[in-house]
A and B are shown apart, each in its own frame.
Chain A
Amino acid sequence: MSQNYFKLFDLDQSFCIDLSTLERHYRKIQSAVHPDRFVTASSAEKLSAMQQATLANEAYQTLKKPASRAKYLLSLSQIDATQETNTAMPMDFLIQQMAWRETLEDCKADKDIAGLEQLATEMRQAAHLLAEELNRLFDEQNDLSAATDATRKLIFIDKVCEDINKAITQIED
């Protein structure tokens, strides 16, 4: 599917988007194309509805979260932020990255849920700052190279947050 996700939801192609408009338009599109609307239709239409509803879900999820939205924006300029050649990170972030990972492992070893939650809060703040930076880099400066770096940092943070949740679940079980 080559459809542009921003166009699908009638949004300007930029990093900063109005999330409530995205949500409203997503719901309107699903109301029109969801397979539930085509239960009595021909199988050609059922198939088409499923594909269109699948696309709307995929597009919505991609644009909703800053990391995937940034990655998608870069992909529209033929940049793959997660490509293996794109792994160089600035030294300060590498050190920060190691510190986060270490805290995560320590908390896991100590079964320290409060510590993990504290770490998650810290990571969310870092993610928030990065998203603000991405606003500038994409929409004001159009600096795609710096945006790629920031996107990769954001993807890393999301991954750690996921691991934190996994760790909390494991401890609770």
Chain B
Amino acid sequence: MALLQISEPGMSAAPHQHKLAIGIDLGTTNSLVATVRSGMSTVLQDQHGHALLPSIVHYGEAQQVIVGHEAKVKQNADPVNTIASVKRLMGRSLKDIVDKAHIPYRFVSPPSDDASQGMVLLDTRAGLKSPVEISAEILKTLKNRAQAALGGELTGAVITVPAYFDDAQRQATKDAARLAGLHVLRLLNEPTAAAVAYGLDNAAEGVYVIYDLGGGTFDVSILHLSKGIFEVLATNGDSALGGDDFDHRIYCWILDQIRDANPSKQPLSEKDTRLLLTKARQAKEWLTENEEAQITCKLSSAYTVDVTLTAAAFVELTENLVRKTLSPMRKAMRDASLDLTDIKGVVLVGGATRMPHVRQAVQDFFQQAPLTNLDPDKVVAIGAAIQANVLAGNRSGDDLLLLDVTPLSLGLETMGGLVEKVIPRNSTLPVARAQDFTTFKDGQTAMSIHVLQGERDLVSACRSLARFELRGIPPMAAGAARIRVTFQVDADGLLSVSAREETKGVEASISVKPSYGLNEDAIIDMLKSSFSEAESDKKARALAEAKVDAMGIISAIHIALEQDGHLLNAVEKEAISKHIKALETALAGEQSRAIHDATAALNTATEAFAAKRMDESVSRALAGKNIDEVNL
């Protein structure tokens, strides 16, 4: 089989040098970090031996930020400054949050001309905090844990997100990683990560369903597994449905019970709300293996709650939540054009799948017992670690490839408040579509494009992603300009837009106003305030980063030239080596700006070469087939 060991064009990693890469499951309830060491994937533990880090951030009185178990302890005493389930707020505006009255936080709309726009903020002791900043605290804690365990700087991380996360939620997650100082190798969909961990472990082949009910999100993905290729056929879900909602049903039930006994009708304090939510969660977990749960606690009014919830009553209370997971499953099956008989196995992921009536519902739907031979809490982090290890270049990726899809259709606003689909849901990533526009006024030089995500026909029923302002259209008669706008969704599931006037060949410039995300300035502000470094340290850091980048690209290009130098003529080779020399000269200096510029110039100079190499890898990939087929 040595003949098939065609070198990987993109891998610039020096051989035998193990890069430290991690996989992070940034969960609603708990977060985990895992890595691959000596070929084995392991979940990393903190110094107390805990693998799970509760996704809870406490802003303390002496400006300290506490994350995890210690923050959880503060939850009942200081609910307003102890933020749990922040994942549910990522990329969401104030009006998206339905149960504000029953969540003990102080929500604030960002200062904006339109109150319905912009990501919600939380008013804490440490000031206004965006969900992105709060998530970044969780990520920082995991990053520190990993660095302590692995003993070095991390090359990068794969961070998982629910498959049904929209663009705003994905972007918010990526921004949080950036704030935490993590280099994101890839955002990976949680069910896909689970499929990788399950599939590799069990050498699974065929069509599998991943049913992932987490703390705050529900995903269902259908994948075709074959020889290390994980191809997502369809995905669906509900990014606001999870174990939290089951707690909430119990919480409401307790309120009902005590309303009869406690007619004062005083609204509950934030502490009481938190206490009852905690009790509700404990009751839910207890009912997984017991027939009834006793709920007792003392409220701040000295009133004692003492109620008993039976398993049967709990099933009834939450029946429609379970039913809400069935409709996404049906849709995914239909989108993938599959029958139940095509499904080889159903894998359960997420702590909420421990509930017996959830398992039963899945079993009834797929008419087969779900697979439970893995830890539903850990499988996502493990899959992410495996992918991180491949992406960092530690393992030849020949035997593992993930082909994921975009969960929601992408469309544009057209006349009359309607949405025209540009990229349909379940398109394999990366995907691009071009759409032509024209001007409707003489001399028009700008136009605005509103991008939406969702399946409905009305703009008002879809989620606004961003408004793009195109400028620099050459003035022409109405209808004469032909502006081709290209929508590209990359392998992280994130959208970018480019535009070009075709008749004159002018690039139009685009300014993006994300509807829920943070703009670049806000992120830079947060980055500044999060590093309490001196100015000189910042410069040193910038210089060091520029140098690492520059050396990375030089080594990548040397490898590329060695492998595929024959694709270039002498003149082209000379041009590239001139740019390499220029960058090496800049590297000898101390100017990060000069290094940046020379890096960018070298990049541009190698674009044509990169394209040629890509064509070459395509022909090589297909040439390899003959060997393959003979060997079979």
By a beta-carbon cutoff of 8 Å, the part of chain A in contact with chain B is 8-10, 24-25, 27-45, 47-54, 56-58, 60-61, 165, 168-169, 172-173
Contact = CB atoms under 8 A, between A and B. Distances in A.
B613 A48 contact: yes
Contacts of B402: 36
Most buried by B among A49, A165, A173: A49
B229 interface: yes
Question: 6 tightest CB-CB pairs across the interface, nearest first?
Answer: A38-B10, A41-B10, A32-B621, A48-B610, A32-B617, A44-B610
Contacts of A10: 622
Contact of B327 (A58, A61, A173): A173
A169 B9 CA distance: 44
Contacts of B391: 36, 39-40
B614 A48 contact: yes
Contacts of A53: 430, 491
Contact of A37 (B8, B335, B625): B8
B622 A29 contact: yes
A132 to B, nearest CB: 19
A36 B12 contact: no
B486 to A, nearest CB: 10
Nearest to A1: B432
Interface stretch (B341-349, B473-481, B550-558, B586-594): B550-558
23 contacts: A8-B618, A24-B625, A28-B625, A32-B618, A32-B620, A33-B618, A34-B401, A34-B403, A34-B491, A35-B491, A36-B186, A37-B9, A37-B397, A39-B392, A41-B10, A41-B11, A41-B12, A42-B603, A44-B604, A53-B430, A54-B431, A57-B427, A169-B334
Given A28-B622, A50-B491, A165-B334, A37 B10 contact: yes
Nearest to A55: B432
B109 interface: no
Given A28-B625, A35-B491, A43 B603 contact: yes
B13 interface: yes
Given A36-B402, A44-B607, A29 B13 contact: no
Contacts of B26: none
A172 B328 CA distance: 10
Given A36-B491, A39-B391, A40-B393, A47 B607 contact: yes
A25 B619 CA distance: 10
Given A10-B622, A34-B401, A44 B606 contact: yes
B10 A25 contact: no
B534 interface: no
Contact of B13 (A30, A40, A44): A40
A40 B552 CA distance: 8
B428 interface: yes
A25 B556 CA distance: 27
A76 B491 CA distance: 30
B624 interface: yes
Contacts of A172: 327, 330
B556 A45 contact: yes
A40 B618 contact: no
Interface string B599-632: 0001110110111011101101110110000000
B129 interface: no
B621 A31 contact: yes
B518 interface: no
A119 to B, nearest CB: 14
Nearest to B6: A32
B553 A40 contact: no
Contacts of A37: 8-11, 397
B390 interface: yes
A39 B606 contact: no
B398 interface: yes
B278 interface: no
A141 B606 CA distance: 47
A54 B432 CA distance: 6
Contacts of A44: 603-604, 606-607, 609-610
A168 B334 contact: yes
Contacts of A8: 618
Contacts of A48: 607, 610-611, 613-614
A41 to B, nearest CB: 4
Contact of A57 (B334, B428, B606, B625): B428
A29 B618 contact: yes
Contact of A27 (B229, B397, B488, B618): B229
Contacts of A52: 614-615, 618
A49 B553 CA distance: 16
A31 B490 contact: no
A169 B456 CA distance: 12
B430 A57 contact: yes
Contacts of B392: 39-40
Contacts of B604: 44
Nearest to A9: B622
Nearest to B184: A39
Interface in B519-536: none
Interface in B369-414: 387, 390-393, 397-398, 401-403
Contacts of A45: 9-10, 556, 560, 606, 610, 613-614
B185 A39 contact: yes
Contacts of B491: 34-36, 50, 53
B556 A42 contact: yes
Contacts of A24: 625
Given A29-B621, A40-B552, A50-B430, 11 more contacts: A8-B618, A33-B618, A36-B387, A36-B491, A39-B391, A42-B557, A44-B603, A51-B611, A54-B432, A61-B428, A165-B334
A72 to B, nearest CB: 15
Contacts of B401: 27, 30-31, 34, 36
Interface in B219-241: 226, 229
Contacts of B403: 30, 34
A33 B10 CA distance: 9
Contacts of A32: 9, 617-618, 620-621
A25 B509 CA distance: 38
B430 A35 contact: yes
Nearest to A173: B327
